[in-house]
Amino acid sequence: MNITSDIVPEVQPGVFTYELYTILSNFESANLAQVKYVRKQTPGIDEDLEFNLWTKPDCGGTEFECNYKSWFYFAIKGGIPGTAVRLNLVNLNKQSKMYSQGMTPVFKVDLGKSEKPNAKFSKASWFRIKEIPTYQVNENQEFVLSFSHRSLENIEATTYYAFTYPYTYTDLCNSLSFYEKQFPLPSDLKEKNEKDIYFHRETIVKSLDNRSVDLLTISSFKDISEERECRLFGLFPDENKPRPYAFKKKKVVVMSARVHPGETPSSFVMNGLIKYLLSKDEQANILRQNYVFKLIPMLNPDGVARGFYRTDTRGTNLNRFYLKPSLKFHPTIYAARSLILYHHLGYELRDELIKEHSNILDLTTSSSTFCRSSDNDDDLNIRIKDMLATDCIVYDGQNKIKPKIINNDPDSLNILLKKSQSCTADFFTNKGLDSGLYLYVDFHGHASKKGIFMYGNHFDNIVDNIECMVYPKLMSINNQNFHYTSCNFSEHNMYSKDKKFGLSKEGSGRVAVLKYTGLIRSYTLECNYNTGRFVNFIPPTVHFVAERRTQSLVPPKFTPTIFEQVGKSLAISILDLSNLNPNSRLENSDFKSLTGLREMLRSNIISDCNRNRRLGSKSTSNINVDIPITSKQFLNLKKRI
């Protein structure tokens, strides 16, 4: 078949016109670089017209351009009503496996009527296209995805197409503004009951494109203090916005999303989590009573707004820079890491300002200048002794601390601190420190492996490995689409390098948080864009033992609603992990209790280790499985909770 093509002119940025058709990419998160009309000279084709479309790679046209071309998002309007148009996306990254498993693009129709720009409802109008798209690799070794569009009777209507369900930066801002109005901050703490919802929104940092990166604090008013959290170095640029109040006794849960802009499932998971934490559900109330949730809903707003798939505006995969992020080049990751360290230690430690070969600093300070998340001076004394033992330097919220020893008294708040080359990430994981963190999860989308699952870290002893696996296993009890068997806790998955740029996963949030805090419960949540391999049987809750819901055995096509349910399940699983869930499913599961679940995990680890030793595999054979889980160890595990 002889094929020729004509370039469709771009009459203004992001607006391409051919006869009665207009193809658009002049809106937020859109991605379309070029359009060509295809002239065919062979009769018998199904479609009346055909267009070839090219997407822009991440950072296209700049010095930072890189070859990520999976995300597309454009619109088409006009044409003769009822006319079939073939759309070929001709330069995508090869995603044969995903599309062979039934992945389809999504679409929505805007009838031209004014709609309220409320992110809460924006997801309702998106659907997967009904036809199965075709795909091939062309003579230029480019991946081509093809599907049909039919012109609508309403010539004012616009049809939008996207790689998967979009969720823009504006969607997020509208959603958070809605919650901010619903849960206003009190003028006086005494006005509030301890069960009331505490919701605080602030800008933690500005992105490279000067967009606000939101940080949410969600809890109850229980254990709230009149002291506010401090303004960390280089962060919280709006000086007119007060920091949230500090909480004396509650552990902190940190969760984040959209470090990779094209991975929109992570935003819907975050939406489900926020919606549940702010609900009137009794389990949500118990969560707020016991924890402080620190949520960063969009770590890469620039990439999201520009229609990128994986990078920021400098072509950087930000999820490889958590070990040593730059405030100048990776401000959002710098902010996330600073936040995590602050809530782990209880004070700010600006380790990146410590000079490599500095000597003893002869400086002064007092407890009042010490920037910390707790107002307990006894706790502060303990922390300072820990710092003395490890020769580290501390900074307050704005300035260097100048410590001196008074009368050789190590209990004095004015102390002498040294810098030595031993002051590394190992200091932060000091087992003597009572970390303020409870759990960390970073949300992602996933193209190849089916299902919803987690990556955890690997440990050289069985007790820590068990504790790392408990939370994901609880997720499989609370969510029918969570695949525990797809979870990965291997050492290889902590240090493997990316094929394209050779960056190690050691710089990912999950691994870096472990290295800097020693937090066992540090995870990456992965959500396939398309579907899963199976569905779990979900046991009934304690209060509904007689409940036997009919469950389909066919894995569903994933939707924003399903991803939101994952966010809710993440919250409920924290209650189970904490032994605080009054309406748990665990009691009606095969494990009956946390003890039973841990014992099952222990048996599985020992079995895997023995099998791998026989086969000569090193994947789990280096775990010390000779440690019995005694009642004392279970008590210690409970204390972690």
3-class SS at 452? strand
Q: What gap in Å lies between CA 76 and CA 567, rounded to an integer?
A: 33
Q: Which residue has the higher pLDDT, 633 or 435?
A: 435
Q: What is the pTM of this model?
A: 0.85
Dihedral-angle region of residue 410 (phi above 0 means left; psi in -120 to 50 means alpha; beta otherwise): alpha
Q: Which of 50, 229, 263, 526 is catalytic?
A: 526
Cβ atoms of residues 217 and 199 within 8 Å: yes
Backbone angles phi, psi at 482, to 5 degrees: -85, 130
The answer, yes or no, to whether residue 401 has pLDDT greater than 60, is no
pLDDT tens by residue, 566-601: 999 999 999 999 999 999 999 999 999 999 999 999
With cut-offs at 50, 70 and 90, classify the pLDDT of residue 392: very low
The answer, yes or no, to whether residue 546 has pLDDT greater than 60, is no
Backbone angles phi, psi at 486, to 5 degrees: -95, -5
The answer, yes or no, to whether residue 556 has pLDDT greater than 80, is yes
pLDDT tens by residue, 292-330: 999 999 999 999 999 999 999 999 999 999 999 999 999
Residue 543, Cβ density class (10 Å: 0-12 exposed, 13-18 middle, ≥19 buried): exposed
Q: What is the CA radius of gyration of the chain?
A: 27
Nearest to 549 by CA among 560, 530, 536: 536
The answer, yes or no, to whether residue 527 has pLDDT greater than 90, is yes
Cβ atoms of residues 287 and 328 within 8 Å: no
Nearest to 259 by CA among 613, 591, 524: 524
With cut-offs at 50, 70 and 90, classify the pLDDT of residue 552: confident
CA atoms within 13 A of residue 336's CA, in its CB half-sphere: 34
With cut-offs at 50, 70 and 90, classify the pLDDT of residue 386: very low
CA atoms within 13 A of residue 440's CA, in its CB half-sphere: 26
Backbone angles phi, psi at 177, to 5 degrees: -65, -40
Q: What gap in Å lies between CA 166 and CA 27, rounded to an integer?
A: 12
21: which 2 tokens? 């058709």
Other C-beta atoms lying within 10 Å of the C-beta of residue 184 = 8
- Which residues, listed in sequence order, are joined to residue 372 by a DSSP beta bridge? 347
With cut-offs at 50, 70 and 90, classify the pLDDT of residue 21: very high
Q: For the residues 166-179, what does the mean pLDDT come to?
A: 98
pLDDT tens by residue, 228-252: 999 999 999 999 999 999 998 999 9
Q: What gap in Å lies between CA 370 and CA 376, rounded to an integer?
A: 12
**Which pLDDT does position 442 carry in this prediction?**
98
The residue assigned the tokens 């073939």 is 86
pLDDT tens by residue, 212-223: 999 999 999 999
The answer, yes or no, to whether residue 126 has pLDDT greater than 50, is yes
The answer, yes or no, to whether residue 530 has pLDDT greater than 80, is yes
Backbone angles phi, psi at 373, to 5 degrees: -95, 0
DSSP secondary-structure letter at 319?
A: G
**Which pLDDT does position 96 carry in this prediction?**
92
For the chain, domains (ranges, CATH) are 3-166 (2.60.40.3120), 178-346+436-535+558-577 (3.40.630.10), 353-433 (no CATH)
Beta strand 224-228 pairing with 245-247: antiparallel
Tell me whether residue 131 is one of the annotated catalytic residues: no
Q: For the residues 180-195, what does the mean pLDDT come to?
A: 88
Least confident of 5-9, 220-224, 333-337: 5-9
